[in-house]
Amino acid sequence: MGVQGFQDYIEKHCPSAVVPVELQKLARGSLVGGGRQRPPHTPLRLLVDADNCLHRLYGGFYTDWVSGGQWNHMLGYLAALAKACFGGNIELFVFFNGALEKARLHEWVKRQGNERQTAQQIVSHVQNKGTPPPKVWFLPPVCMAHCIRLALIRFHVK
């Protein structure tokens, strides 16, 4: 079950848990959904779908990704994220969908074909123009999800 499946499950089985919120007010601790007060010293729990935001967890819009990127920059970014969440009384949970269900195999094959085509465009662009490729062509390094997972463990993110 991915984050979307988890969200569907919560909406179906716990409808009272699904309420609109303003994240800024929520992070300050002033409101929970529906205007209710959050108990003091109770951390806000935030679930992040890593598969859909790997490029952001890698360090945002850092441009040195084409030649392997700067892993130290990524570590600094994740350390700052963990520190900001801890300081803002937010308990961060990052979810990696490690299983490939049979129903999603076709989707995975299609994504691999698209990524191969994008990789060919990147190589062609760098060879022909000698400049970094556009950000929209971002392809994560093969081990990036694993490295991010290890870094998050290092920074005590669940």
pLDDT in tens, 88-133: 778 889 888 776 778 778 888 998 899 999 999 989 998 999 888 8
What was the pLDDT predicted at 67? 59
Would you say the pTM of this structure is higher than 0.85? no
CA neighbours closer than 13 Å in the CB half-sphere of residue 93: 8
- Give 41 or 104, the one with higher predicted confidence: 104
pLDDT tens per residue, range 6-18: 778 888 888 887 7
pLDDT, tens digit, 9 for 90 and up, residues 50-103: 887 777 787 765 556 555 557 778 888 899 989 988 887 788 898 887 767 787
3-class secondary-structure state, position 91:
strand
Q: Domain map of the chain by residue range? A: 41-155
CA distance 140 to 122: 13
3-state DSSP assignment of residue 47: strand
Residue 41 CB partners (closer than 8 Å, separation 6+): 89
- Rounded CA separation 30/90 (Å): 13
Do residues 51 and 2 touch, judged by C-beta distance below 8 A?
yes
